[in-house]
Amino acid sequence: MKKLSKEELLRKSKIPGINAIKMHKFYKGKIQLVPRCQIRDYNDFAIWYSPGVSAPSSEIFKDKQKVYEYTNKWNSIAIVSDGTRVLGLGDIGPEAALPVMEGKSLLFKYLGGIDAIPLCIGKEACCEANHIIEFVKMIQPTFGGINLEDIEKPKCFSVLDGLRADPEVEIPVWHDDQQGTACVTLAGLINSLRIIGKKKSEVKVVFNGVGAANFGIYRLLKADGFNLTKFLFVDSKGILYQERSDLEDPEDYKHELIKISNPEQLQGDCGVAMEGADILISSSIPGPNIIKKEWISKMADDAIVFVLANPIPEIFPWDALEAGARIVGTGRSDFPNQVNNSLCFPGVFRGTLDVCAKTITDEMCIAASYALANLVDEIKGCLIESCILPTMEYDELFIREAVAAGLKAIEQGIARFNLTEEELYSNAKIMIEKSHSELKMLMKKGFIPEFKDYTK
């Protein structure tokens, strides 16, 4: 791994932003609507609109489930955000969040063949969790699923849990910052543990940061059978333990973590927590030097270090390796072992939509994680420390995740349509390849013009 100077990293990190300003202004956004049906001549509007459209509407009125057959509900999701916790920018509001949500829509379309519509809602009108819950419930007739995005904590926990538990919600709801990051992290840990030969029931895991990402990771590791008594959580004030004076509010979401972790009631900073730890999962603030080399040097042999802050990880991977870590993952694509939720959400939602599942369960996420992890050995022929996850250019990974999530939904009895493994595979492959082909055609024909003024 090439060690870059601070100046080189700073310059490199600024280039995407410079090009983003130029290209967003040139294209005036990243997504648009195009027809799905043919229009042979103007007479066809009598079929697609009045008077013909009253026939499918009448059929749906008789049987609500036919909306999945006669409309695009089966392949559409809403990306809902109030702009209160956007990337590393924080509370920037719904308008400033819109470019991010459009980018998410682009990833959904290109990687999963899914039509995703950004819905950035005014935080002044919808500032509480219950307002967002009601908003989602009001729009669910139009969409096959909901992706919650960039909502501040602890509101994001209340919104996701509230919607998943509400019997009136009949479509899947997913919070990518929690479930997507967790899904990919679990896949990375599965392969990392395979490499070092340790069992998930035996490893000591330290979570640095207790925001949406690490909270979601904890929940999925719990569901997959990791030993919770070997978990330690660290926030900006140190290790979480039962008698900490600032954690007396029983409504604080951190109380869930206190109850299940740190049975020895260890106190101190992250360095204390990391002594003898097998795994560090850090989703905190951009580095470097947030995680110290001397802390990693005191971890167990064959330590696994995931430092996921962007744009600069909490410690540079070469420093972590020098300090004794055996496997290091970051959130960056230009370093080995990128742990990024883009490897997960297009595939999981593809499979969820293909069977019209009513929710996305932890078991569906875990099935997708194992499908993602198992693909590495198939692609590379072996597992190595510098390649614990596939990268997003392998379309097969999204297809395999779709199959795994869809089959698990059918097994759990939450799918509206039961498809075979072969049908799920074929559907996902066709939808993703179609999305690629449509984009290439639009570019080739000049309907999407070429942009040339790149900053190198």
In the structure encoding, which two tokens stand for residue 149, read together?
Answer: 């995005």
Catalytic annotation, pick one of 104, 123, 230, 408: 104
Chain-centre distance for alpha carbon 397:
15
For residue 209, give the 3-state DSSP assignment. coil
Catalytic annotation, pick one of 12, 14, 49, 237: 49
Q: Which of 280, 12, 162 is nearest to 2 (CA)?
A: 12
Our answer to whether residue 292 is catalytic in this structure is: no
- Which run of H or E residues covers position 147? strand 145-148
In the structure encoding, which two tokens stand for residue 247, read together?
Answer: 């954690």
Amino acid at 100: V
In whole angstroms, give the CA distance from residue 41 to residue 305. Answer: 60
Our answer to whether residue 253 is catalytic in this structure is: no
76-81 and 145-148 beta bridge pairing: parallel
| Residue pair 327/337 in contact by the 8 Å Cβ criterion | yes
| Residue pair 149/122 in contact by the 8 Å Cβ criterion | no
Terminal alpha carbon distance of the chain: 22
231-235 and 238-239 beta bridge pairing: antiparallel
In whole angstroms, give the CA distance from residue 129 to residue 194. Answer: 40
Q: What are phi and psi of 358, to 5 degrees?
A: -85, -15
Q: Give yes or no for a cis peptide into 56 (omega within 30° of 0).
A: no
If one counts every other C-beta atom within 10 angstroms of the C-beta of residue 232, the result is 24
| Residue pair 160/149 in contact by the 8 Å Cβ criterion | no
| Residue pair 406/351 in contact by the 8 Å Cβ criterion | yes
Residues involved in catalysis: 49, 104
